[in-house]
């Protein structure tokens, strides 16, 4: 794991810009397609809340943003990597005109995209029913400030959902998973993306992120209420949720 983690925004944006072309393919390939079920689980939970507005932070190539658009949610995607956003815009147009072409897009509008960091969101207070972050928060250079910004833009009573990788709690499953995650995945990622470090950075960054109860404490520390977490695929990924108080 010995990779030095540099979460400087310029460095992170450059890394994701360099892999933007192969990001989706590698996501699905390296997770054996299971990443789609993690995002689908998130969308199912979001649907229960019937939100009108959502902000997808660290939206990358837009999979979560687009899935929310398909639910008729007025959604904004935000990311620091412009090449990832270019992919998101192209995919959103295709998905949107696909929907409207089938006469199904009446309640949907095209997502809006903003190139900006999570710790300085250029949007007004109390704007969104839901904020999502899919596999992005472990990369943030300024996590505390980002959580405060998210709280600011959420409406009172609004919900933050976070998907993030974790280390499985079960010893045997953790052993199997770690062999793949630490050895096989970085190699395949490097060969396909052509980027030497991005897929070694992935397991290193997961190793430094607070997990499970520790992260729920952090959410509470930054003023979120009712934190919960749900392990996915035996704890390879986790979905966290927490609310902004109604009395803020």
Ligand X SMILES: C[S@@+](CC[C@H](N)C(=O)[O-])C[C@H]1O[C@@H](n2cnc3c(N)ncnc32)[C@H](O)[C@@H]1O
- Specify the residue, 117 or 168, whose C-beta has the smaller distance to ligand X: 117
Burial class (CB in 10 A: 0-12, 13-18, 19+), 78: buried
**Nearest-approach distance from CB 94 to ligand X, in angstroms:** 17
- Specify the residue, 157 or 182, whose C-beta has the smaller distance to ligand X: 182
**Nearest-approach distance from CB 83 to ligand X, in angstroms:** 9
- Whether 226 contacts 159, CB under 8 Å: no
The β-bridge partners of 154 are 128
- Specify the residue, 71 or 245, whose C-beta has the smaller distance to ligand X: 71
Binding site for ligand X (CB under 6 A): 9, 12-13, 16, 58-60, 63-64, 79-81, 84, 117-118, 134-136, 139-141
What are the φ and ψ backbone dihedral angles of 55, each rounded to 5 degrees? -120, 125
- Specify the residue, 119 or 245, whose C-beta has the smaller distance to ligand X: 119
- Whether 222 contacts 40, CB under 8 Å: no
Q: Where are the alpha helices (DSSP H) in the chain?
A: 9-19, 23-30, 34-49, 63-70, 82-101, 143-153, 171-179, 185-193, 198-207, 213-221
- Specify the residue, 42 or 246, whose C-beta has the smaller distance to ligand X: 42
- Specify the residue, 84 or 160, whose C-beta has the smaller distance to ligand X: 84
The pair of structure tokens assigned to 100 is 């409207």
3 state SS of 91: helix
For 9, half-sphere exposure in the C-beta direction (CA atoms, 13 angstrom radius) is: 14
**Nearest-approach distance from CB 235 to ligand X, in angstroms:** 18
- Specify the residue, 13 or 99, whose C-beta has the smaller distance to ligand X: 13
User: Does the CA dihedral 205-207-210-211 come out positive or negative?
Assistant: positive
**Nearest-approach distance from CB 175 to ligand X, in angstroms:** 25
**Nearest-approach distance from CB 189 to ligand X, in angstroms:** 12
Burial state string for 118-150 with b = 16 or more CB within 10 A and e = fewer than 16: bbebeeeeebbbbbbbbbbbbbbbebeebbebb
Reference 212, options 239, 187, 177; nearest CA is 239
**Nearest-approach distance from CB 248 to ligand X, in angstroms:** 23
**Nearest-approach distance from CB 61 to ligand X, in angstroms:** 6
């Amino acid at each position: 794991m010995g990779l030095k983690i540099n979460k400087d925004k310029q460095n992170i944006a450059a890394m994701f810009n360099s892999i933007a072309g192969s990001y989706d393919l590698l996501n699905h390939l390296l997770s054996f397609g299971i990443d789609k079920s993690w995002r689908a689980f998130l969308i199912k939970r979001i649907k229960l809340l019937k939100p009108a507005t959502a902000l997808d932070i660290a939206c990358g190539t837009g999979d979560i943003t687009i899935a929310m658009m398909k639910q008729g949610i007025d959604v904004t995607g935000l990311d620091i990597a412009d090449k990832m956003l270019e992919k998101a815009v192209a995919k959103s147009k295709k998905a949107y005109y696909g929907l409207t072409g089938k006469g199904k897009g009446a309640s949907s509008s095209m997502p809006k995209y903003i190139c900006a960091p999570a710790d300085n969101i250029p949007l007004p207070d109390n704007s969104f029913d839901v904020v999502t972050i899919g596999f992005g928060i472990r990369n943030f250079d300024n996590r505390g400030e980002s959580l405060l910004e998210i709280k600011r833009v959420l409406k009172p009573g609004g919900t933050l959902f976070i998907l993030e990788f974790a280390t499985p709690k079960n010893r045997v499953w953790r052993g199997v998973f770690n062999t793949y995650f630490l050895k096989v995945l970085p190699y395949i990622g490097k060969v396909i993306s052509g980027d030497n470090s991005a897929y070694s950075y992935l397991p290193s960054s997961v190793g430094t992120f607070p997990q499970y109860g520790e992260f729920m404490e952090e959410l509470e520390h930054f003023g979120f209420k009712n934190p919960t977490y749900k392990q996915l695929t035996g704890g390879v990924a986790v979905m966290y949720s927490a609310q902004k108080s109604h009395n803020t």
